[in-house]
Amino acid sequence: MTARILITGAAGTVGTLMRTRLAAPDRVLRLLDIAPLPAAEDGERVEVVTASVTDQAAMDAACEGVDAVIHLGGHSLERPWADILDVNINGTHVVLEAARRAGVGRVLLASSNHAVGYHRRGDGEAPDYLFPQPDTYYGVSKVAMEGLGSLYASRYGMDVVAVRIGSCFEKPRDFRMLSTWLSPDDAARLFEACLAAPSPGFRVVWGVSANTRRWFSLTEAEALGYKPEDDSEVYAEEILAAGGEPPADSAARVYLGGAWCTPDFDTAV
Selected catalytic residue, list 137, 138, 152, 226: 138
Question: Measured from the CB atom, is 56 or 76 closer to ligand 15L?
Answer: 76
Residues 173-202 that bind ligand 15L (CB under 6 A): 180
167 binds ligand 15L (CB under 6 A): yes
137 is catalytic: no
136 binds ligand 15L (CB under 6 A): no
Nearest residue to 70 (alpha-carbon basis) of 21, 125, 137, 133: 21
Q: Which stretch binds ligand 15L (CB under 6 A): 93-101, 108-116, 212-220, 221-229?
A: 108-116
Question: Measured from the CB atom, is 77 or 241 closer to ligand 15L?
Answer: 77
Strand 27-33 to 106-112 pairing = unpaired
Residues 197-256 that bind ligand 15L (CB under 6 A): none
- Identify the burial level of 234 via C-beta atoms within 10 angstroms of its C-beta, where 0-12 means exposed, 13-18 middle and 19 or more buried: exposed
Among 16, 52, 56, 76, binds ligand 15L (CB under 6 A): 76
Cβ 16 vs Cβ 187: under 8 Å: no
Give the Å distances, CA to CA, from 216 to 68, 128, 138, 164, 245.
27, 8, 20, 10, 20
Cβ 138 vs Cβ 264: under 8 Å: no
Among 54, 88, 92, 113, binds ligand 15L (CB under 6 A): 113
Q: What's the min distance (Å) between Cβ of 124 and ligand 15L? A: 20
Q: What's the min distance (Å) between Cβ of 191 and ligand 15L? A: 16
Q: What's 245-259 look like in SS3?
A: CCCCCCHHHHECCHH
114 binds ligand 15L (CB under 6 A): yes
Query: Which residues make up the interface to ligand 15L (CB under 6 A)?
Result: 76-77, 112-114, 167, 180
Annotated catalytic residues are 138
